[in-house]
Structures are given as C-alpha cells and as structure tokens.
Amino acid sequence: MTDQLRQWLETAQIRPDGRLPPERELAVTLGLSRAELRKGLALLEAEGLLWRRVGKGTFVSAPAERRRPDASAMAERVSPPEAMQVRRVLEPEIAALAARTATGLQIARMKALCAEMRKAPAWPDYQRLDCEFHASIAAAAGNNLLAEIFDIVNEVRRRVVWGGLDKRSYGPPADYHSFDEHEAIVAAIESRDRAGAAEAMRNHLVATELDLMGK
C-alpha cells in the first residue's frame, strides 16, 4: 500500500509544495480504502515526503524539508534477510575503520558493553546492549556520514530482526555465540588489525543470521 502510493507520487510528478488530490479521489485512483490511504499518507509524512495542513490538505515536501527516513516506516518494507544483507555489506568495513581510528576510551566502552551483554537478564536487555555495542563501533570509525547511515540501519534492523526475541522473558545462555564473537571484534580493533576486525565482524554477522533466521 505504501509502495503503491510512493509509485503514484513518482509518476504524478507533483511539484514541491503541490497539493495532492482529495483523499476520496485519490483512494479511488489507487483502489484503496480511505483507511488504507490514510495509513500510507501517515507513513510517507513520517518519512518527510509529505506534509499536511489541517483544513488545507496534504502536500509534497520540498527536498530541503525532507528528514531522515523514519525507521518504523522503513521496517515495514524491509525483510530480515534484507536487513542482514545490508549489515554484511556495511559493518565489516566499519570495524576495519574503527581498528584504525578508535580511541582508548572508545575501546574501553566496547569492552564494557561486552561485559554487560554477558549479564543481560532478558533478551530485550541484550538487544539494547547489542545495538549500543555495534553503534559504538560505528562511532569509532571516524566517518560522520557512515555513522549517520549506520544509525538508520541499526534502528531498522532492531525493529525487523529482533521481533520474536523481544517476547522472551529470559536472557541469552551463558555460552551464547555472540559473546565470544563480540570480544574477538574488539580484540582485533584494539590490536589495530583492520583485516582481522573486518573478518571477525563478518563471521559474527553470518553466525547471527544463522541463529536468528534458522538458516
């Protein structure tokens, strides 16, 4: 539904700040119910592609007004395998960069997060720490644009990949594979081993995908 609306916007070529047709007319054009259309409009508004004014209608945003894509909206269009594929492309290089640029304080933070993850009492706690751990590596890579891109990927993957684990009341087992894998990544970063950091991250992501998706 959202993709259908997005495609219509592309083909309709409405100018920036141009108004969309009335909801009743647009719903008929797209073959959607009014409720479906309103949900799609709300998602595109969250992404910054549209804006609304009460009593006036819905308008196409000017490019300068478009914000960072909304992670919850993106998560609706992304499958778990797609999220993991992007991580495999992005995160090994991030780890390699961090091996070159990470400060002692940043490495100490990574180690602290590894220790906290081993003590996580429930999966949601582990999930939060895991996201923070990977974000700490991205922050240590020394590239602001890459960090911005990673933040989006990290938020989307949290919503897409971890869904089922959020419902578990217990935490990861003491021998959970990610514990040692995370520590291997940090060890390579601390040793300034760029190739080793990339390989450790790649191995971790492959193991995570096998674990979470049953491949």
pLDDT (mean) for 105-116: 96
Shared fold status for 2-65 and 71-213 = no
- Tell me, what DSSP letter sits at residue 148? H
Which range of 2-16, 31-45, 133-147 scores highest in mean pLDDT? It is 133-147
Sole residue written with tokens 């922050």:
139
Q: What are the tens digits of pLDDT across the range 44-81?
A: 877 778 887 766 788 888 765 445 566 667 777 888 88
**Which amino acid would we find at residue 32?**
L
What pLDDT, on a 0 to 100 scale, did the predictor assign at position 160?
A: 78
More confident of the two residues 165 and 158: 158
Of the candidates 4, 151, 143, the residue with the CA atom closest to the CA atom of residue 68: 151
Domain 71-213 has CATH 3.40.50.2000: no
Of the candidates 45, 24, 46, the residue with the CA atom closest to the CA atom of residue 35: 24
pLDDT (mean) for 191-211: 95
User: In whole angstroms, what is the distance from residue 61 CA to residue 79 CA?
Assistant: 27
Of the candidates 178, 181, 209, the residue with the CA atom closest to the CA atom of residue 84: 209
**Which amino acid would we find at residue 153?**
V
Cα 60-47-93 angle, rounded to 5 deg: 130
User: In whole angstroms, what is the distance from residue 51 CA to residue 57 CA?
Assistant: 9
More confident of the two residues 3 and 1: 3
Domain ranges in the chain are 2-65, 71-213
Region 2-65: CATH code: 1.10.10.10
Mean pLDDT of the chain: 85
Which token pair is 4?
């259908």
**Please, which pLDDT band fits residue 112 given cuts at 50, 70 and 90?**
very high
What H or E segment, with its residue span, contains residue 202? helix 194-213
What percent of the chain is modeled with pLDDT above 90?
A: 40
What is the CB-side half-sphere exposure of residue 46 using CA atoms within 13 A?
14
